Structure 1
Amino acid sequence: MPIKIIEGLPVREKLREERIFTIEESRAHTQDIRPLRILILNLMPLKQATERQFLRLLGNSPIQIDVDFLYTASYESSNTPTSYLQEYYQSFDQVKEQFYDGLLVTGAPVEKMPFEDVDYYQELRDIMTWAQTHVFNRYFVCWGAQFALNYYYGIEKELLDEKLFGVYPYRTLNFEHPYVRGFDDVFHVPHSRHTRMNAEQILQVEGLEVLTGHEVFGPDLMVSQDGRDVFIFGHLEYDRETLSLEYHRDLHRGDRIALPENYFPDDDVNRLPVFNWRSHGHLLMHNWINETYQETPYNLEELLSW
């Protein structure tokens, strides 16, 4: 089934080239079904690249999905024109009376800052509070996952000595859990971050289950006991070239940056990176959509009484 997007969203043409099927509102109204409603809070500076990455994963589903994009009104983006956000995104004030099956919160390039120093700190806390009564399932990625773990459980963030940058093998720890259904024993995950969450604190939270981990880097994919909050530090949504673009961007800016590990064949930047995390990116999103579809109430307003 297609995903429903706002009329004229520019990334639609790129998705069409990849045979990711979308549907606009005028056509969706003629269908007598109950689609899933997903809200994506896109905190990344390059909005369209992130849109494409997550819409690609959401579009690989037999279920029709209605997608809205959310931006933070308390922060003025320096990379995306305000006119683009006003046309294709909504503010929290515009959605706070609505209900959604799922909320997806992306990463953000603010990880070195204390949470409370981020410009949209209070707005994001307000969104998190609202989501507990207006959204059935929530999915947090990278810095979004760090913020959520701190918000829900008080887990602290720690600065790494060196940036974790590359593609790393992670191990599946609980094959029985529906969110890792179909996962291999070991699979690859791209990472690009300067911080981590305190692993000892994560393991001490009774209502949090670690589903995948690395013997050195610790937990990566976690889920709340009720299955309604998913946290992942890695970037299974990344394109093949995302780490390459980031590496060359930082070189151009004169930043201190090492080659991404386990990424370029023989560490040769002129060779095409191996895309060895794509299948698990689709699989995790498929599992999340399936669990949301199976468990969410037909009338989302029932969430207010849960």
Structure 2
Amino acid sequence: MPVKIPDNLPAAGILESENIFVMSETRAANQDIRPMKVLILNLMPNKIETETQLLRLLGNTPLQVDVDLLRIHDKESKHTSIDHMNNFYRDFEDVRHRNYDGLIITGAPLGQIAFEDVVYWDHIREIIDWSQAHVTSVLFLCWAAHAALYHLYGLKRKLLAKKRSGVFSHQRSKHYFPLLRGFDEEFYAPHSRFAEMDVDELKAHPELQVLTESEEAGAYMVLSRSNRNLFVTGHPEYQKATLKEEYQRDLGEGLNPDVPMNYFRNDDPTQEPVARWHSHGSLLVSNWLNYYVYQLTPYDLDDMSAMTPWESDGVVK
């Protein structure tokens, strides 16, 4: 089934060229089904690139998904035109009265800034708090995962001496969770961040479960026992060239970055990168949308109290 997006969104042409099924608002209006309503809070600088990456994953699921794009403020973006933002993005005041099946909050280039010093920190906290009553399940990515773990559970991240960048091997810490169905015992995922969470603190927290982790990159997928919040500390949405572009940007800005680990062929940045995570990224989002959104959400979004309960081991009652 397709992901429904605005008629003229730039991502539509890109996704259609990749044979990913997208549907315009006009066509979707003639269908008599209950689609999943997913809100995306896009905090990344290049809005079009990130929205395309996420829509690519959402468009690879068997469910029809209606997507609303949300911005954190109405200030002009350095990398995205104000016309694009005004045409396709909503402000929080436009959606705060609504309920959604799912919410995705992206990463942000704020890894070395204290949360309280982020100019929109209060607004982020407000949206996270709102989501706990108005969204069936929330997927937090990278910086947003660290921010939400701090805001919701008081867990502090540890700043790293150098940026953690590369593609890392991960293993399952838990088994038989719906979110992990189809996962290999070892899989790969990209990371690009300046901080990490303490794995032992996460495992010791009574409200959290570490589902997958990496010896090199730490905890990767962390799920709240309520199943409402999924924290993913990496970037399953990244495309093949994304880490390369970040590395070249950092070089150009004189930041002397390390070469992303396990990414370029033979670890040589003059050679092509190797993408080893796309199937995992698609499976992660498909499982989240199916088992933690579609299977739990009420048919009537106005009645969030009708959510299907789960057992503590992730099995539907």
Any idea what SS the aligned residue of 2:303 has?
Answer: helix
- 2:112 matched residue in structure 1: 112
Distance 1:124 1:269, change over 3 A: same
Separation in 2, partners of 1:76, 1:221 = 33
Please give the per-residue CA displacement for 1:144-180, whole angstroms capped at 9, x wherever unaligned: 1001101110000211122111111111121201111
Q: 1:35 to 1:271 in 2, by over 3 A?
A: same
Corresponding position: 1:201 with 2:208: no
List per-residue Cα deviations over 1:170-228 (Å, max 9, x = no partner). Answer: 11121201111111111111111111123332122111000001234321101011211
Q: Quote how far apart the aligned CAs of 1:80 are.
A: 1.8
* SS of 1:249 mapped into structure 2: helix
Q: Equivalences for 1:74-223 in 2 at 5 Å?
A: 76-223=76-223
Matched to 1:204, the amino acid is A
Alignment of 1:34 onto 2:34? yes
Work out whether residues 75 and 119 of structure 1, in 8 Å CA contact, stay in contact via their aligned partners in 2. no
Question: Deviation at 1:74?
Answer: 6.4
- Contact 1:169 1:188 (8 Å CA) reproduced: yes
Q: Calculate the TM-score normalised by the size of structure 1.
A: 0.96
CA separation in 2, counterparts of 1:81 and 1:122? 25
In 2: Cα distance, 1:259 partner to 1:215 partner? 19
Q: Which runs of 5+ in 2 are unaligned?
A: 308-317
Confirm whether residue 246 of structure 1 aligns to residue 246 of structure 2. yes
CA contact (8 A) 2:36 2:63 kept: yes
Q: Distance in 1 between matches of 2:6 and 2:27?
A: 11
Matched residue pairs, number? 306
Matched, 1:301 2:302: yes
| In structure 2, C-alpha distance between the alignment counterparts of 1:200 and 1:216, rounded to whole Å | 15
Q: Secondary structure at the match of 1:19?
A: coil
- 1:75 Cα deviation after fit: 5.2
In structure 2, what is the Cα distance between the partners aligned to 1:75 and 1:116?
20
- Secondary structure at 1:211's aligned position in 2? strand
1:10-49 aligned at under 5 Å gives the runs 10-49=10-49
Aligned equivalents of 2:65 and 2:298: distance in 1?
Answer: 15
Change (3 A) 1:75 1:151: farther
Alpha-carbon shift at residue 21 of structure 1 (Å): 1.4
SS of the aligned residue for 2:295 comes to helix
Q: Could you tell me whether the CA contact under 8 Å between 1:164 and 1:192 is conserved in 2?
A: yes
Deviation per residue, 1:43-71 (Å, 9 max, x gap): 00011111111101000012110001000
Cα distance between partner residues in 1 of 2:22 and 2:248: 32
- After superposition, what is the alpha-carbon deviation per residue over 1:72-128, rounded to whole angstroms, capped at 9, x for unaligned? 116543222222111110010111111110000000001111111111111111111
Equivalents in 2 of 1:78, 1:61: separation in Å? 32
* Counterpart secondary structure, 2:302: helix
Q: Which amino acid aligns with 1:296?
A: T
Secondary structure at the counterpart of residue 55 of structure 1: helix
Asked if the contact 1:75–1:120 (Cα under 8 Å) also holds between the matched residues in 2, the reply is no
Distance 1:22 1:299, change over 3 A: same
Contact 1:133 1:304 in 2 (8 A): no
1:23 and 1:305 mapped to 2: Cα distance?
A: 29
Q: Equivalent residue of 2:34, what SS? A: coil
CA distance in 1, matches of 2:225, 2:302: 23
Q: Indicate if the aligned counterparts of 2:48 and 2:80 stay in contact, CA closer than 8 A.
A: no
TM-score using structure 2 length: 0.93
CA contact (8 A) 2:168 2:216 kept: no
Q: Which amino acid aligns with 1:21?
A: F
Rounded to whole Å, the distance in 2 between the matches of 1:4 and 1:42 is 17
| 1:223-280 CA-partner distances (Å, limit 9, x unpaired) | 0112111001111111011111111111112111111111111122232211111110
Give 2:302's aligned amino acid.
E
2:314 alignment counterpart: none
The RMSD of aligned alpha carbons is 1.4
Name the SS for the 2:93 alignment partner: helix
Distance 1:101 1:23 in 2: 19
- Structure 1 window deviating more from structure 2 (77-86 vs 121-130): it is 77-86
Amino-acid identity (%): 44
